[in-house]
Structures are given as structure tokens and as C-alpha cells.
Amino acid sequence: MIFSEHFTPIAALDLTPIKQKLMVQSGTAWSAEKADAVEAEYRRFLYTMKICPGAEAAPTAEVDRFWRVHIVETKRYAQDCERALGFFLHRPANLKITPMAIQRSH
């Protein structure tokens, strides 16, 4: 399969509610620009997990935060995983986080 066949279902996910939560949560309050950037990174993370199932990928702290907000809506998260990945993506409790933050290009 080519890239677009793997990425198309991931790109089709509606992650707007997750971004909105991250833009208003106390302690997070991300700007729309940051939420968009992290959303793009999260989609790339999902793509990596799709093409390398079982890989021990280490997301950035921001991507992990996005992922945890997505997981909270368990029914929707399970449906999104099935549609986009074809399997349920578990988040290990002992997940190692990459300390790098997303760099802004200004």
C-alpha cells in the first residue's frame, strides 16, 4: 500500500473537539495555532503506529497530552482507532515521553 492509502483514514478523523478542549482547559490553554500543530503531529504519530504496529514510539509531551484527551472519550476513541488504524491503540501506563516540544516556524 502507498502512503495515502494508510494516511487517508487518519486524515479523515474529526479531531476538532479534542483541539477545542485543549484550547480551554485550565493549565493547558493552547492557542489555535499550537493545537493545529500538535494535531498534525498526532496524526503523524497515529500513522507511525499504523504502519509499525507494536512499535515503542515515544511521542512528545504535547502529542501525549493530545492522545490522552482523545482517549478520555473512550467510545469515540475506540471507533476512531478501528476506522483509522484497524485496531485499538493502547497507551501504556509506563509510556516514555520525548522531551522535545514542537518547534514553531516564525
63-91 per-position pLDDT tens digit: 999 999 999 999 999 999 999 999 999 98
| Residue 12: per-residue pLDDT | 97
The domain segmentation of the chain, as residue ranges, is: 3-84
pTM above 0.85, yes or no: no
Integer Cα distance of 78 and 63 in angstroms: 18
| Residue 56: per-residue pLDDT | 78
Question: φ and ψ at 98, to 5 degrees?
Answer: -80, 130
| Residue 33: per-residue pLDDT | 95
Q: Give the pLDDT band (50/70/90) at residue 29.
A: confident
Integer Cα distance of 99 and 106 in angstroms: 21
Task: Check whether 39 has a pLDDT greater than 50.
Answer: yes
